[in-house]
Structure 1
């Protein structure tokens, strides 16, 4: 059996640029890529908290420490500068890998600086 599991996420990243006339991708601060464990050219899913859009693209590396989150190409229609987004990558794991898997969770502030990291999502009380 194989399961598709959350590998990592950048939570509440702020879009800094939206470039329509650019080859499709999402440029992400290189330090954020490294911290989350997202590889350049890896498929990512973006969930826009501002408008509910959900879309798939790939990551490219922006300058380390720049705070850049640039949604490019056709996806630029789905996110504007200032929008809060969740950027996720997933991995397909076999049964043996599932027992020890923990995602890499990176929580960001309004300037795309790391507030905290973790490997589990706290359950909200009802």
Structure 2
């Protein structure tokens, strides 16, 4: 088994940072569906503005809201307006991985599809 890129939201913009929450990242439900991600899934977050990298899990946000909200301690690692790459990975057989096509989503302004 190897770990490979499963899906990615490329260059979404942070809309909120909520320190007073127990943790995670809230992502617009429409973006989740487009990328093949689900609530509770572990993701890696890369901040293009400051170089921070962190891992957390997804909470489903309101559909078509454009919401990208870092919650809890992760809120200290970003600023509203930062550009993020949100990445999920999957374990799969080496031969299967050779032919697997990840879902990569490039949202438009306002984190819209």
What TM-score results when the alignment is normalised by the length of structure 2?
A: 0.97
Q: With CA pairs under 8 Å and 6+ residues apart, which has the higher RCO, 1 or 2?
A: 2
- How far 1:99 moved relative to its partner? 2.9
- Gaps (5+ residues) in structure 2? none
Matched length? 113
Partner-residue secondary structure (3-state), 1:91: strand
Q: Which residue of 2 aligns with 1:5?
A: 4
Q: Which residue of 1 aligns with 2:61?
A: 62
What TM-score results when the alignment is normalised by the length of structure 1?
A: 0.87
Are positions 1:31 and 2:1 aligned together?
no
Largest Rg, 1 or 2: 1
- Gaps (5+ residues) in structure 1? 115-126
1:69-97 deviations in whole A, cap 9, x for unaligned? Answer: 00000000111110000000000111232
Which contiguous aligned blocks of 4+ residues in structure 1 show a shift greater than 6 angstroms?
none
